[in-house]
Amino acid sequence: MEYTNAINSIQQLEEILNSEIAVLLYFNTLSCNVGESLQPKVKNLLTSNFPKISFYTVDINFSPEIAATYSAFVEPTIILFFEGKETIRKSRNIGIYELQEAIERPYKLIFE
């Protein structure tokens, strides 16, 4: 699993949320097969359809304080922030098409 955009501290996360317009947090653990298979699909969805959304991962095992702060106890959990506010939250059984539909309206309102 890639961890190029892994967030490891609350401070780092707060800086990102304050400085970027659209942020998707992907909460997961290395032991979650569903999360591992879904992650590249979510990244591809953003790259293809929502390029202005930044993608970050949070490993629940390594950053339990972030998971607790954002009540992300189920893996995988996706939280999407627009302008620092939580806008979309999906957990466990996440369909890519359903996620795309949920993101489209707020994305267009902000970026188009």
> Domains along the chain?
10-111 (3.40.30.10)
pLDDT value, residue 32: 73
Q: What is the pLDDT of residue 93?
A: 85
What is the C-alpha to C-alpha distance for residues 26 and 79, in angstroms, rounded to an integer? 7
How many C-beta neighbours within 10 Å does residue 96 have?
A: 12
**pLDDT mean for each 10 residues of the chain (112 residues):** 71 95 93 81 96 95 93 93 96 92 96 90
pLDDT at 12: 94
